[in-house]
Amino acid sequence: MFNAEIPPPLITREHGSWAVLIIPMLVSLAVVGRWKGDFAWVVLSAFGVFLSYVPAQLLLRHYTGSVQRVEKLYQAKVWGAVYAIVSLGFASVLLLKGYVFLLAIGAAGILSFIANFYLAKEYSKSIFTDLIAVAGLALSGPSAYYVLAGEIDRRAVSLYILNVLFFGCSVFYVHMKIRASATKKREMGWRERLSLGKINLLCYVAVATIVEILAALHCTPIIVLVAFVPIIVQGLYGTINLSSNVRFRNLGLILLGQSIVFGMMLSGSM
């Protein structure tokens, strides 16, 4: 018999997603260069939205045909409600203070979540669905910038694009490693490595091109490219030495460290 008691919290197991949420907010704080108490409210609201992702996803799966266990469903309802109350509570404080543009940012985040869910459900998890998730999570940056600066200007948009580009590079790199691991081959020829890593390499070309365009439009200094150097160097090295022997735990820690370095370098260059 199901015992209705408080279940353990539902928290995402995708630890890298915490970096995608937190780094853009800290970069916005550093770039704007001033502290406001409202920053704490937007951070707490963003955490509430982020944590509600797993319960909302589980509930959507249940109500779209993938029936969940009663215990799991109850857990999702309880913690989904808790996270939603936290998020809406702090967001309401900000809206009452006049930060109405947060509604538009929130709507974009919801669209990202819905698109990610249905595309992953229909076509399975892929680079594309992960990029949609990154685009949604990185909206924490513009949210924090807006609350701190009182507006969304070209610098806010540039920061958002740069954050999405960086974490997008991580998505391409991880998927390259996943594909390499799936081959189960001890050794790979350079043709096979290039075949598995070509999209990853094209990503770096796209990053350099987009940053140069932003610099030409006077939206960001060209020195921002330096912030991408560590992940590009690792990507090139990882492609050249690609093998099926992948330690994903170590890879996650390396990418987390690079996220912190990127955040610091981006803050310093803007």
Output DSSP code: residue 125: S
Specify the pTM.
Answer: 0.90
At residue 4, the pLDDT reads 60
* pLDDT score for 10: 81
Cα gap 44→52, rounded to integer Å: 12
Structure tokens at 220: 């960001």
How far apart, in whole angstroms, are the C-alpha atoms of residue 23 and residue 146?
16
Given a cut of 70, the residues of the chain with pLDDT beneath it are: 1-4
The hierarchical CATH code for the domain 11-151 is: 1.10.357
Alpha-carbon distances, residue 94 vs 30, 41, 110, 147, 188 (angstroms)? 21, 7, 18, 8, 54
Question: Which tokens in the block code for residue 106?
Answer: 């929130």
Encode pLDDT of 10-49 as tens digits.
Answer: 888 777 889 999 999 999 999 998 888 899 999 999 999 9
Please report, for the chain, the start and end positions of each structural domain, with discontinuous segments joined by +. 11-151, 153-270
Tokens 């580009």, residue located = 165
User: What is the model's pLDDT at position 12?
Assistant: 81
pLDDT in tens, 97-123: 999 999 999 999 999 999 988 888 887
- State the pLDDT at residue 1: 41
**R_g of the chain computed on alpha carbons:** 20
Instruction: Count how many residues are written for the chain.
Output: 270
